[in-house]
Amino acid sequence: MSVLRGLVGVLVALAVSVGFVQFLELMLANAVAGGALRTLDDYALVLDTWPLLAMRLVVSSFMALLGGYVCAKLAEHDEMRYTLMAVIFRLIAMAGGNAAGYMPRTPVWALAMLLTVSSAAMLFGGAIRAAAAAVQRKKESD
């Protein structure tokens, strides 16, 4: 049962940190452009400006922090192992999606920075939950 909970946690973390972030980025690009954008190149043109790259960094880091916390919360045991799995799958999804053209293209340097900072945030979210769970287990054992 604990393996199933951990894998569900990984999937939920991916949904929060990749799927929901993509939805937010596309809404942001449409709002900044003042209308509906039609192609991924149009989205990339809007999203790859300095202010929006900074906004994307903040939003994706916060959502990754939340995703890491939720993953560890759902896993219940081996919180950091499942959070690390979510980070690895997220890196593959984001790099692969950018390379294959399934999401708006991001410059390599910006994608590397985005993935580095948000991956650290996801691990930090999992570590927060793991520390809270360790305190709770210690209280229960005393």
Whole-number Å distance between alpha carbons of 86 and 14: 7
Which pLDDT does position 133 carry in this prediction? 92
pLDDT category at 104 given cuts 50, 70, 90 is confident
Cα distance between residue 35 and residue 29, in whole Å: 9
How many domains are there within the chain? 1
Segment 128-141 mean pLDDT:
93
* Whether the Cβ atoms of residue 112 and residue 105 lie closer than 8 Å to each other: no
Mean pLDDT of 50-58: 94
Closest CA to 58 of 84, 100, 28: 28
Domain of residue 92: give its range. 2-141
Q: What is the mean pLDDT of the chain?
A: 93
Query: In the prediction, which pLDDT does 54 show?
Result: 94
Q: pLDDT tens digits for 76-102? A: 889 999 999 999 999 999 999 999 988
Amino acid present at 116:
T
* C-alpha torsion sign, points 129, 121, 30, 11: negative
